[in-house]
Structure 1
Amino acid sequence: MLVQVALPVPLYRVFDYSVPAEKASSNAALPKIGSRVEVPFGRQTLIGIVVAHISPADSNVPASKLKPIYKCLDSEPILDASMLKLAYWLARYYHYPLGDVLAVMLPSLVRQGKPLDLLITHWRILPHVTDDDFRANAKKQKQQFDMLKLHGKRGASEDVLLLEGMQRSFLKTLEDKGLIERFIEPKIAPLTVKLAKMPLDLNEEQKLAVDAIVSAQQAEEYTGFLLNGITGSGKTEVYLQAMQAVLEAGKQVLILVPEIGLTPQTRARFASRFAAQIVLLHSGMTNTYRLQGWQDCRTGHAQIIIGTRSAVLYPFANLGLIVVDEAHDASYKQQDTLRYHASDVALYRGLQQKIPVILGTATPTLEHLKLVDDAKLVEYQLRTRPGLANPATMQLIDARLQSTHQQSQDDGASFDTGLTDALITAIRQTLEAGDQVLVFLNRRGYAPVLLCESCGWQADCPRCDAHLTVHYSSQNQQNSYLKCHHCDWQAYIPAVCPDCASQNLDARGLGTTRLSENLHALFANPQTSKTLYPIIQIDRDTTRRKDSWENIYQRINQGKPAILVGTQMVAKGHHFPNVTLVCLPNADRGFLSADFRSPEHTAQLMIQVAGRAGRGDKAGRVLIQTLQPDNELLLKLVKDGYLSFARQLLQERKMLGLPPYSYAALIRCEGKTLAATTQALTDAIAGLPDAHNLAVLGPIDAPMSKKNSRYHSQLLLLAKERPQLHHILEHWWPSVLTMSSAKYLKLTLDIDPIGW
């Protein structure tokens, strides 16, 4: 017998290998399907997954050219039949090589052939150690010691301690002082899940949803649920009570969240309800922890799994429920390698495992609404907030009728704050009432462009078709620079214009840093404000450091009056009970984009940000500053709400024949010249079968035709029926990759793209 191996190479095939004579005496000695093997491949040695056993007669490779496997790395399969079936489905649906699909599904250490070891490092306090062993000035060491002491004599695993905030350097220091010790012990089976806190009372809408989900779980049948609840309506409580029945039945629950920043607070929420083994999975973890998490899922040690999109590809011993929180979020779409959408994969896995899947959101995508219309998802709506909390009221501020506020400086000059007087007055009144304000601007940095007022020169990225963003701080001018947010190219801010030597360089536009400084001048300057209010900036620049987001979150939840200035990071599932006012000073951009999905995404973002207001006992309101108060879509959103807005967009999509009423495949081509990429896509179109009945749009330049010194073109294929599109792609796409004009170019295929 021979073995067929899927290897991590960009080839749409598997490879046949012979088995050394000492292992060929019986089929029982063959490497098992789903196990890893080390094999020769050209001049390389690769790790692959055995996907089949075949007889020599079924192989297309002559016996003289068959190579033997070097080594079998696993005595038992690491991927069972259901995981291999998932891999085949992913390869088939996304038209991606099977070996590369399996490489995406496996943690890097598993791909490298490392042993699967359940032994992990634990730490515990030595029996003779007491609090008296610490010097009075060793406060930080004592603090870390006290955290470990909470775990008693048995101690805790290193990954748990690090998640709780301990630092590895302090553990090593305490060990060197003879106060604690590290030890290794195998993981034991987790205890039965118990409630750590009693559930809350459900309203009628929540109870209907929980009963339906539990019924599907008990019947062991797949049902996809769209939990369509306004922000703050108690979707998490529905998750928790639906999970209870699953966990009590001894099954695992997978909870997907869109961002790494949400995983710690989500873990805290679930840990406060259940005494269970909770595992976090995201890209911020080390390779060792990712391997341990993968193993915990596979062996059943993990009972509640909280992860970002890649967690949906993990193996599970006994999965009973999948929850996709904030299911509308674009972060669930992988934008490189295997371009899968985690929500779609979650629904497939639910069908495969015969378990319920919950897609929870306040702003469902048009695709999910279409699935409800087609009876492929069951919708449950949550229209009310628990207790006395009501949804925030939304109001437009016409920026045409009142110019933005000009603030005077100490030297007599003035600057434009970017905020109207009405917005500033509302912010001040909210702060004086003891509440918090969230000002949302989805553009980080100081300003989006640096402009010469004399000759019109603009600071552009030399490697991309994009302006350089100005990063500037009046408090630390040495840390000021220009940066491209697409390729990370950086440069110093010039003192004079490179074209005309003028000193009249002006940073135009508003970023979160500049907005924070403007608000500081208005509300944290003793010359302009009787009370000084903190300005808390929340974006990728201020949350880079370890624990920075947790520290910001704790500062916000102290409840003191403050102004939060944030990008879309603040819109995703965060609970700020003391925020009663949300301000959107630049609400027009998204409705003016050329991307046909932009109005949908903009509305989702606005509603999600608006949902941060009034989540506690106090009423909330949302002020939208706009230069287009008569924009029909904006008025529809404000007056009638997101669902009515989405239904109108859905009708427009139907009339235009756009997704979700058609099915799209986007081919991107990247190369050294635009002419080469365009020619390759032109040749690809020529290779389409006659009478293909597809709408072919392109080739055209990508929205950013030059990025990181490479040129990009794209081609869009639209079909009325999904099987029709995939049937054509199955035969056409592999031939495109082998075209002579595609040599030295990078061609990628994106099924169900979220934008073009």
Structure 2
Amino acid sequence: MNRVRLLVFNAALGVLDYRVPEGMTVEPGSVVVGPLGPRQVLGIVWEPERLTAQEVPEAKLRPLLEVLPVPPLPARLRRLIEWTADYYCAQLSSVARMALGSSAALRGGGTTTEYRLTGEEPARLTPQRAAALDALQGEQASIRELAELASVSEGVLRGMVGAGLLEPVTVDLDRPYPPARPDFDQPKLSEGQRKAADTFVDAVKARKFAPFLLDGVTGSGKTETYFEAVAEAIREGRQILVLLPEIALTENFLRRFEQRFGVSPVQWHSSLKASERRRAWRAIALGDAQVVVGARSALFLPYPKLGLIVVDEAHEVSFKQDDGVRYNARDVAVIRAKFEQIPVILASATPALESMQLAEAGVYRKIELPDRFGGATLPQINILDLRKEPPERGRWLAPRLVDEMKERLARGEQSLLFLNRRGYAPLTLCRNCGYRFQCPNCTAWLVEHRFSQRLACHHCGHETPVPEACPDCGTADCLVACGPGVERIADEVAEILPEARTALVTSDTMNNPEAIAEFVAMAEGRAIDVIIGTQLVTKGYHFPELTLVGVVDADLGLEGGDLRAAERTYQQVAQVAGRAGRGEKPGEVLIQTRHPEASVIAALAAGDRDAFYAAETEARRDAGAPPFGRWAAIIVSSEDLSEAQSAARAIGGTAPDHPDMLVLGPAPAPLSLLRGRHRFRLLINARRSAELQRYLREWLDPLEFPRGVRVHIDIDPYSFV
């Protein structure tokens, strides 16, 4: 090749042609560096017939500068990148960038210097050094990363190096990961588990595309079942990818994996240190990383010998990315498995309705685990009608739920209270003038957090101290917290059960793997009596002594305009209910609601999942909603309200009149101001057979907007705010 086409990571530049200097070897997928004016650009060599570019005469081509020392991106991955960009109407360069998850890793191996505590006890300490010593126990990282962990300046740490409190350690960037042993601790599976595991193992051996929906009730041992397929892929020298929806689930998974295979898997998520990320990426690209467990971004990494993909908790909304490239990792995982010609397992106790329909249609093969492992029974679910059994004045827990918690405490058993609302209260207002605290950057109320004594926006991160007086009328001691968050429920539990040992489990309190590990150890060691938490406690945990689950406000998820509200509520409540009675003792679930007649609540009470899915399916069919129709959203935003409104009207005014497509809007988004940007939305409902992406491109590509306007397309949207 003496001429190459380069996909560069700049959407404005797109595609550029370069000359290959004599003696340089490149091929499609090679990661290279080329000149661009006085600068240098990073790019990936692509097949020229697959990318259109402005033709440049040979004489004007500039030569490439270097080929980076990493394996070329495999052709199968390049096809996945193209498919994702096409389906989700995203920039090809934006999707390709996700494959190069660590720019430092592209420069090859070598060594780096990290630092750790020496254990020396200084004669006296400054407050900053004392804080650093407490925060950095057991940590080893670069000075910059340690400074972030300890919340001190780099200068403080460099002073600690000079004082002998921190010592340098030379680290091999490409040190190998210990190999997983497929036969380390083989479990005893039930007959149903063994049958399912054998099916997965056969699929791994066949090395063909085979999509499975592993539909098992909570506690049925889905993880142990697909671990057998993981073991077979390891024996065959293939790589395995396990996707988890949240980092909070990783700690529990790592422990179970290590028990089964003798070592931890390779991790990939946003909380990794830069050196860990670099090491992981290179091990993956070189084919040395056997099993990778990670968040959705791990899906686009350059595995050269992928043999199996598992998507655990496949129904989870967090697999859908809501900014940047707005892809759904669950669906893209199936497409990657198709390109790789390997099996993919979607595991869930409450599968998404789209997945259920694909299984009904025979596209996915459904594998069911209807019983809990080891003879454990599913919990009894009872409805607590708050209209008939209201809480005491000023409280949020009904008397019957309180009585059941007291009984569990007396028996030495554990209880869990679930409310999917962080903080102390969702709204704070002035009882004198009615002033409400609203975020200055978003159309959202500020949430009171009493533990940190702050008012916070959960959309943009804006925070402010709780004032002593109303900022509008100046009245002191007049602020009232309205509604409950988990912190308020925790305070109520402390009043009702002062002797109970409690744990608050939210993304505010469990914001790192160490905190999660400590919580799990305490819960398993029976050092916690009552767990109060948000959605972080709904899945993945196994506490044998937990026998009571109380859902504080089951109606919360049914509010607002979410078109999947009923399905999400069912999944969330069913998942948290599944934490009860997982050991030898039976479990009970109490669901507090003011709408017991709602179909989702009635289905939960009856334990009739099939009836709920059937009713939801018919409602979707009548509405032409997924999986029977298609949705797309167009989100228009600008810091200038009139500019955003004009752009949205221009888009709405040029909407195509197509029999396969209905355009709704434009209208102000429910969150009409988000992070300082004014937002408008259009919703498109199309027939399943419609060429939706082509229609959208033909509609939007000719339009031009001011520089401050952003227009995003969201295919198959999950968020409607």
Q: What is the TM-score with the length of structure 2 in the denominator?
A: 0.89
CA-CA distance at 1:755 after TM superposition: 3.0
Q: In the alignment, is the contact (CA less than 8 A) between 1:468 and 1:483 conserved in 2?
A: yes
In 1, Cα distance between the equivalents of 2:395 and 2:108?
A: 57
Q: Pick from 28, 32, 38 the counterpart of residue 37 of structure 1.
A: 32
Q: Pick from 481, 484, 487 the counterpart of residue 507 of structure 1.
A: 481
Q: Pick from 463, 466, 482 the counterpart of residue 441 of structure 2.
A: 463
Indicate whether 1:438 and 2:395 are aligned.
Answer: no
CA-CA distance at 1:625 after TM superposition: 1.1
CA separation of 1:235 and 1:735: change in aligned 2, threshold 3 A: same
Give deviations 1:620-674, integer Å, cap 9, x for gaps. Answer: 1100111122223311232143332122101110011111111122111111244
Q: Secondary structure at the match of 1:324?
A: strand
In 2, Cα distance between the equivalents of 1:307 and 1:186?
A: 20
Q: Secondary structure at the match of 1:419?
A: coil
Indicate whether 1:95 and 2:83 are aligned.
Answer: no
Amino acid of the structure 2 residue aligned with 1:547: E
Indicate whether 1:207 and 2:194 are aligned.
Answer: yes
Residue in structure 2 matched with residue 52 of structure 1 by the alignment: 47
Residue in structure 2 matched with residue 708 of structure 1 by the alignment: 675
User: What residue ranges of structure 1 are gaps of 5+ in the alignment?
Assistant: 125-130, 136-145, 149-156, 407-415, 474-478, 525-531
Q: Pick from 88, 105, 109 the counterpart of residue 117 of structure 1.
A: 109
Residue in structure 1 matched with residue 131 of structure 2 by the alignment: none
In 1, Cα distance between the equivalents of 2:397 and 2:53?
A: 71
Q: Secondary structure at the match of 1:387?
A: helix
Runs of 4+ with >6 A deviation: 120-124, 172-181
Q: In the alignment, is the contact (CA less than 8 A) between 1:227 and 1:359 conserved in 2?
A: yes
Indicate whether 1:85 and 2:79 are aligned.
Answer: yes
Indicate whether 1:752 and 2:716 are aligned.
Answer: yes
Q: What is the TM-score with the length of structure 1 in the denominator?
A: 0.85
Q: In the alignment, is the contact (CA less than 8 A) between 1:5 and 1:17 conserved in 2?
A: yes
CA-CA distance at 1:194 after TM superposition: 4.0
In 2, Cα distance between the equivalents of 1:424 and 1:76?
A: 60
Q: Secondary structure at the match of 1:417?
A: coil
Q: Secondary structure at the match of 2:373?
A: coil
1:550-629 residue pairs with structure 2 within 5 A?
550-560=517-527, 562-629=529-596
Amino acid of the structure 2 residue aligned with 1:210: A
Indicate whether 1:5 and 2:6 are aligned.
Answer: yes
Q: Secondary structure at the match of 1:445?
A: coil
Aligned residues: 700
Residue in structure 2 matched with residue 492 of structure 1 by the alignment: 465
CA separation of 1:189 and 1:676: change in aligned 2, threshold 3 A: closer
In 2, Cα distance between the equivalents of 1:147 and 1:495?
A: 40
Give deviations 1:116-167, integer Å, cap 9, x for gaps. Answer: 216678999xxxxxx9x999xxxxxxxxxx999xxxxxxxx989xx9xxx99
Q: Secondary structure at the match of 1:261?
A: helix
In 2, Cα distance between the equivalents of 1:378 and 1:396?
A: 34
Q: In the alignment, is the contact (CA less than 8 A) between 2:415 and 2:529 conserved in 1?
A: yes
Q: In the alignment, is the contact (CA less than 8 A) between 1:118 and 1:187 conserved in 2?
A: no
1:386-425 residue pairs with structure 2 within 5 A?
386-406=373-393, 416-425=394-403
In 2, Cα distance between the equivalents of 1:351 and 1:12?
A: 31
CA separation of 1:174 and 1:350: change in aligned 2, threshold 3 A: farther
Residue in structure 1 matched with residue 699 of structure 2 by the alignment: 732
Q: In the alignment, is the contact (CA less than 8 A) between 1:436 and 1:578 conserved in 2?
A: yes
Q: In the alignment, is the contact (CA less than 8 A) between 2:6 and 2:18 conserved in 1?
A: yes
Give deviations 1:220-264, integer Å, cap 9, x for gaps. Answer: 111111001111011011111222222111212111111112212
Residue in structure 2 matched with residue 138 of structure 1 by the alignment: none
Indicate whether 1:15 and 2:2 are aligned.
Answer: no
User: What residue ranges of structure 2 are gaps of 5+ in the alignment?
Assistant: 123-136, 151-156
Amino acid of the structure 2 residue aligned with 1:425: D
Bigger-Rg structure (1/2): 1
Give deviations 1:60-91, integer Å, cap 9, x for gaps. Answer: 33439945145123266431212212211112
Q: In the alignment, is the contact (CA less than 8 A) between 2:308 and 2:344 conserved in 1?
A: yes
Q: Point out the more displaced range, 185-194 or 417-426.
A: 185-194
Amino acid of the structure 2 residue aligned with 1:2: R
CA-CA distance at 1:700 after TM superposition: 1.2
CA separation of 1:289 and 1:668: change in aligned 2, threshold 3 A: same
Q: In the alignment, is the contact (CA less than 8 A) between 1:434 and 1:560 conserved in 2?
A: no
Residue in structure 1 matched with residue 295 of structure 2 by the alignment: 308
Q: Secondary structure at the match of 1:705?
A: strand
Amino acid of the structure 2 residue aligned with 1:460: Q
Q: Secondary structure at the match of 2:526?
A: coil
CA separation of 1:405 and 1:34: change in aligned 2, threshold 3 A: same
Q: Secondary structure at the match of 2:702?
A: helix
Q: Secondary structure at the match of 1:4?
A: strand
CA separation of 1:429 and 1:723: change in aligned 2, threshold 3 A: same
Give deviations 1:503-524, integer Å, cap 9, x for gaps. Answer: 4321111111111111111112
CA separation of 1:63 and 1:713: change in aligned 2, threshold 3 A: same
CA separation of 1:670 and 1:206: change in aligned 2, threshold 3 A: same
Q: Secondary structure at the match of 1:195?
A: coil
Amino acid of the structure 2 residue aligned with 1:489: H
In 2, Cα distance between the equivalents of 1:684 and 1:704?
A: 20
